[in-house]
Structure 1
């Protein structure tokens, strides 16, 4: 996990990250969002239309910045990768101001009663159209194709910009940290399968919702798969030493961890354990985990 860089951050500025893509940073930095959520406006800057990917949280400042990046173009679609509250809530006011339909991931709300290790779900998200794997939205000079990538959330989509070879990865692959996988909706087996799906593709660049553009995507995805397998091996080794609850895995696996991220680490370990249980490799009795 990267340290948050010192300010100033380019919040509210339309940063041209490639010919067809403007990036606008929302003012919502946190231990889980890095410097904030990044919204992307896709389409030729001097063209007649564009799409907006992950409009972000509701913020007058951020909405003004998105509309400035849109300029005089019509918005063909407001596209959401998933429904965490740092990604989709601004779809409603942006749709109201632009007249654009909201398309992309399916609606999903999971209520939790305890402390969260990521953003909560957006209960206001109501898409006009849900995109299936392989479906595309098109405009003048741009094509965005949906790629189903469950794992971080069950409804997560990435969007491939066919004209440039770039992939908008939401929170599935980020430019600053590995993604958290939070049960019951987050699923480690699905997440690993989605990483393998990306590894088999030939995308040239990733634009994630948090962090810098990823210029060597295959290298990063291989590293992420290796990292998760390493974590799984750590869990298996610790279970073989002695049965233990989830909290007892953390000191050995995450030395020097920021206390604010302990919840995320426990959820990640839980996701691994549930996956191991599905595969018949681990068992739990009254919250105590051991190798099967």
Structure 2
């Protein structure tokens, strides 16, 4: 029997330092919804407050329960992760800290992944920068690929990593050019593989209890997709929609636009490797 989804709006204490609250924004791309994580026991950090939804904000404030909030942290500014920073900051007085803002027209497949144009952090974190609170330290880890500004957050001294959308607990992430970059995504996975984290707390889906094995699986999956592309192009030129239909047999039709973006991301990566070339929307192996 399939596991029941976690209850929306309920604060679930994962361990003494980490709790999570599920936002009411399920979709084919967000799974059961965005997971907001709360770190600390007395003074808190809130990671990825999620969409600007009054019910979710109320749930977060109930979970905070009057305790001071030292920082509101953001892994990346897609609309399912960062808009609630603003009402939460007004309610708590906490600074918004994390991924660098930028503006880019969303060429991706889904409205919920569009960039939050109003995202305005008080402080931008670079790789290895830290934020400290009462009994906790969070260290930023640059993990570009899903977005160019994506950060993960290490809870120092615990073996826990808040992996945002770079590593999710239910599916591989969408890598959608022009901002999504498969070369960077693969390099970021290799960076995580070299670490010794004990658990990932992702932005979507359940926690990942064997991170290195999980990351090896993600790398293997992407290599498999790359191999599929090269085998198809070895038989002759193809356009992306045709490749996607061959590679993603049985996929939910609502997810086909996202699959096409991931195929494009792989093709851009293979072009950099000198393996493929494109002319007027048709791709072939490089001569």
TM-score scaled by length of structure 2? 0.97
- Return the offset for 1:72: 2.4
- Return the offset for 1:280: 1.0
1:271-290 per-residue CA deviation (whole Å, 9 max, x = no partner) reads 00011111111100001000
Task: Trace 1:1-292 onto structure 2 (pairs within 5 A).
Answer: 9-44=6-41, 47=42, 49-112=43-106, 115-116=109-110, 119-292=113-286
Distance 2:67 2:157 in 1: 19
Distance 2:93 2:111 in 1: 34
- Return the offset for 1:118: 5.7
Distance 2:168 2:136 in 1: 23
- Return the offset for 1:231: 0.5
Retained in 1: the 8 A contact 2:100–2:124? yes
Retained in 1: the 8 A contact 2:142–2:150? yes
User: Pairwise CA RMSD of aligned residues?
Assistant: 1.5
Secondary structure of the structure 1 residue equivalent to 2:238: coil
Moved runs in structure 1, 4+ residues, more than 6 A?
none
Aligned in 2, Cα 1:113/1:253: closer, same or farther, shift over 3 Å? closer
- Return the offset for 1:267: 0.4
Ranges in structure 1 where 5+ consecutive residues have no aligned partner: none
Aligned in 2, Cα 1:117/1:259: closer, same or farther, shift over 3 Å? farther
Secondary structure of the structure 2 residue equivalent to 1:28: coil
User: Would you say how many aligned residue pairs link Structure 1 and Structure 2?
Assistant: 286
Q: Is the deviation greater in 108-117 or in 193-202? A: 108-117
Distance 1:141 1:113 in 2: 41
- Return the offset for 1:18: 1.6
1:116-171 per-residue CA deviation (whole Å, 9 max, x = no partner) reads 38610000100000001000101111110000000000000000001321000000
Retained in 1: the 8 A contact 2:34–2:80? yes
Ranges in structure 2 where 5+ consecutive residues have no aligned partner: none
